[in-house]
Structure 1
Amino acid sequence: MPVVAATKALFNPLKLGDIVIPNRIQMAALTRNRSNKTVPSDLMAEHYAERARGGTGLIVTEGVLITRQGTEWEAAPGIWNAEQVAGWKKVTEAIHANGSFVYAQLWHLGRISHPDAPQQKLAGVPVYAPSAISARGGKFRFLPGQPGYVTPTAVEDPTFIIEQFKQAAINAKEAGFDGVELHGANGYLISQFLDSGSNQRTDKWGGSVENRARFPLEVLKALVSVFGNNVAVKLSPVGGYNDMGMPLEETLKTFRYLLTEISKLPLSYITLVRYSPYLDAEYDGKKRATVHDPLESYRSYITNPVTKVFLNSGVQAEEGAKLIEEGKIDGASFGMSSVLFPDLGKRFKYGKPLDNVPNWPLMQIGVGEDPEKWDVGYSDYPAATYAADEI
């Protein structure tokens, strides 16, 4: 069965760092909330194996916590101890056995944690952020009432967090990951250092664009020291989610500087997240995002020839293929559709409809759900029917 012509460009191999992925389809990171008290579960291994088997060239895991934090997702996985590393080994082995490759997305929430969350209490440390400025919004289903985000503690010297990222990368290598992606998007710690609204420091970690970019760049250098050129970063310049966003001129200046400096490092890829109304937030009757086109605004600042570019957020298969053909991106990143369709790559390849119905209430489980039923809304989405020459 021939490949659908409109999506053909998605199915050329692509060199990323030291590996060559079989196609240009990336499974984007999305929190699914199925770990066993921060330890990756067998169900997670099954979930990712299905997506590898279904034709995804590169799988990026859900956000992986580098240290104990009070996330609103109580069953989010971590990678700071040996038990977690062993759990992730099952995941990476399952993905490799089914013909795909996998990056771990390394994640620190910063001010988007809550001090009353059980994991934050176990950590025995405050909720750290660049400055003592709370994000608006928040939802913690497992805490009494509906508490929002609270004022964090300004970290005195963030170099110890850089070391935590480095140790997480060391652990990821032990767990068999092909690389690591720094979560620099969606209002978490990396974004918080970049954004002048959440970073109002007056030391070398804040103030000027150069100082606000220092922490992300130092983290990336630490990751490169472990994984070489098998390091990536995800960025969302438009902001919105988790109370992020600067005026357009400042946004352009900040991210153009950041990408110019990142281009001095041998990163395997950069994922740019474009505007999505689902990732925007409204405060005082106004949308939070600074809407602009990341490809048009920043693509020319990614100048390292080894660094590939993926586009994320609402990308359709035909659109992604066209952008690849035009040389504007190297690959397309699919988030929600990767969860809904275990065989997403094959559907794109053979023109199968995207007809699974999302189970929104159980996409991200809440505390109190029966772990024996965690497959519902997660690994129970059916694959399409294929002819013998399409398998």
Structure 2
Amino acid sequence: MSNILETPIQIGAYTLRNKVVMAPLTRMRSTGNFAQPELAVEYYGQRAGAGLIIAEATQISQQGQGYPNTPGIYTDEQIEAYKKITDKVHEEGGTIFLQLWHVGRLSFKDYQPNNSLPVAPSALAAPGHAYLPDFSRADYETPRELTVAEIKEIVEDYRQAAINAKEAGFDGVEIHAANAYLLEQFLKTVSNQRTDEYGGAVENRARLLFEVLDTILTVWDNSKIALRISPFNVSGIAPEPDPYSIYDYVVKRLADYKLAYLHVIENKEIDPGNGATVTFDTDKLYIKHISDFYTSPVIVAGGFDKDKAETVIEKGYASAVAFGKNYISTPDLAYRLVNDLEPNAFDRATFYGGGAKGYTDYPFYKV
């Protein structure tokens, strides 16, 4: 009998070879021009056995960058570098989406055009510390509030990035609306105190997200577009008083779009009601909560192991499961999960920056 993780699954326009997804993993190894290095071709090619690769978060513009050496998709050089990656993944029989990224206030003036302040829905500094270009850390700066005209320019940047992703040979795009980055900053009341059409009621705070989605729909078919959310994220942002009111509204609207998939990050060890630590319980996950009103494919992430992944798929809460750190260390992770083989141990010291060490030198299982 087949393992549930190894059976194919239809995700939008594509039949994935298995239900094991490579999560988008920031590795900070791009060139000085923020183009993917040659090593990235080997790195992604090694992992093409995943049912789907979601390529690492990629900034749609210089303004959208917030970390050292992260790749962009806004210059010809960056597009050409990504073409080599998509060609390699397709040569290996894989499917690959690009995650489109604008970090908003989780940036620093050193990354911004003319060393200006980072931008955000409101002039509120994020909690925590920024990565500077030399990998040192500093408190996040108080950002500059975007004007309505500038918001429209960012929507256009997303549209152009979607065009560039298509030129680079990607099979689809994932809109990054999670992890305290720009689109999540607009969604949440703790980071958005605007009083215009982009602030106040949840319909207004979600306006930018749906404007971005609608403009990308002019470039890609809905069956090749995805979106990522993190309803209970508290990293880089203060806890939201009532996340359900925001995300239920967003997900119910998204249901009409029939996207390739909705990518949900679960903070599964935290009870969003009171912040108390709880034992993993699949029936407390947000993907279970939305299963009655969101029927398009769902990919879930959040530190899942094989048993938990199989459980949420068997219960019908998720179509596939994304794995992160284990895909850094284990290029043949899908094979190992299906065959009950342990992943390689990962080395956190090599997650960000550097060269081949901790990037392309992890071993495959020897049969």
TM-score normalised over the length of structure 1 = 0.86
Runs of 4+ in structure 1 deviating by more than 6 angstroms, as ranges, are: none
Q: Corresponding residue for 1:12?
A: 7
Cα-to-partner distance string for 1:90-142 (whole Å, 9 max, x where unaligned): 01001111111000000000000101x1x3145x6541110111101113254
Cα-to-partner distance string for 1:6-53 (whole Å, 9 max, x where unaligned): xx111221222222111111111110011112101111111000000x
Q: Corresponding residue for 1:155?
A: 146
Contact 1:106–1:183 (Cα < 8 Å) also in 2: yes
Give the deviation of 1:144 after TM superposition.
9.4
Match of 1:82 among 76, 96, 100: 76
Mapping 1:227-242, distance limit 5 Å: 227-229=220-222, 230-242=224-236
1:258 maps onto 2:250 in alignment: yes
Q: Which is worse superposed, 161-170 or 136-145?
A: 136-145
Match of 1:45 among 35, 41, 44: 41
Matched to 1:68, the amino acid is Q
Q: Corresponding residue for 2:128?
A: 137
Match of 2:265 among 267, 273, 277: 273
Residue 141 to residue 204, structure 1, CA distance change in 2 (3 Å): closer
Matched to 2:251, the amino acid is L
Contact 2:177–2:228 (Cα < 8 Å) also in 1: yes
Q: Corresponding residue for 1:376?
A: 357
Give the deviation of 1:208 after TM superposition.
0.4
Give the deviation of 1:319 after TM superposition.
2.0
Cα-to-partner distance string for 1:323-352 (whole Å, 9 max, x where unaligned): 222212111111111111000011012221
Matched to 1:189, the amino acid is L
Give the deviation of 1:315 after TM superposition.
1.0
Q: Corresponding residue for 1:350?
A: 339
Cα-to-partner distance string for 1:234-282 (whole Å, 9 max, x where unaligned): 11001211124311xx21111000111111213100011111679x9xx
Match of 1:322 among 300, 303, 311: 311
Question: Following the alignment from structure 1 to structure 2, what is the Cα–Cα distance between the partners of residues 309 and 212?
Answer: 23
Q: Corresponding residue for 1:299?
A: 291
> Counterpart of 2:349 in 1: which secondary structure?
helix
Contact 2:96–2:172 (Cα < 8 Å) also in 1: yes
Matched to 2:348, the amino acid is W
Unaligned runs of 5+ in 2: none
Q: Corresponding residue for 1:73?
A: 67
Count, aligned residues = 355
Match of 1:96 among 90, 95, 108: 90
Contact 2:101–2:175 (Cα < 8 Å) also in 1: yes
Identity %: 34
Give the deviation of 1:70 after TM superposition.
7.2
Question: Following the alignment from structure 2 to structure 1, what is the Cα–Cα distance between the partners of residues 310 and 192?
Answer: 38
Question: Following the alignment from structure 1 to structure 2, what is the Cα–Cα distance between the partners of residues 168 and 222?
Answer: 11
Question: Following the alignment from structure 2 to structure 1, what is the Cα–Cα distance between the partners of residues 4 and 137?
Answer: 46
Contact 2:64–2:101 (Cα < 8 Å) also in 1: no
Matched to 2:349, the amino acid is P
Match of 2:172 among 176, 179, 182: 179
Contact 1:186–1:244 (Cα < 8 Å) also in 2: no
Mapping 1:189-228, distance limit 5 Å: 189-228=182-221
Question: Following the alignment from structure 1 to structure 2, what is the Cα–Cα distance between the partners of residues 277 and 163?
Answer: 38
Contact 1:228–1:266 (Cα < 8 Å) also in 2: no
Matched to 1:364, the amino acid is Y
Give the deviation of 1:357 after TM superposition.
2.4
Residue 144 to residue 190, structure 1, CA distance change in 2 (3 Å): closer
Match of 2:26 among 1, 21, 31: 31
Contact 2:68–2:131 (Cα < 8 Å) also in 1: no
> Counterpart of 1:345 in 2: which secondary structure?
helix
Match of 1:364 among 352, 355, 363: 352
Q: Which is worse superposed, 316-325 or 142-151?
A: 142-151
> Counterpart of 1:59 in 2: which secondary structure?
strand
Matched to 1:377, the amino acid is G
Contact 2:65–2:107 (Cα < 8 Å) also in 1: yes
Question: Following the alignment from structure 2 to structure 1, what is the Cα–Cα distance between the partners of residues 293 and 59?
Answer: 30
> Counterpart of 2:292 in 1: which secondary structure?
helix
Question: Following the alignment from structure 1 to structure 2, what is the Cα–Cα distance between the partners of residues 125 and 161?
Answer: 16
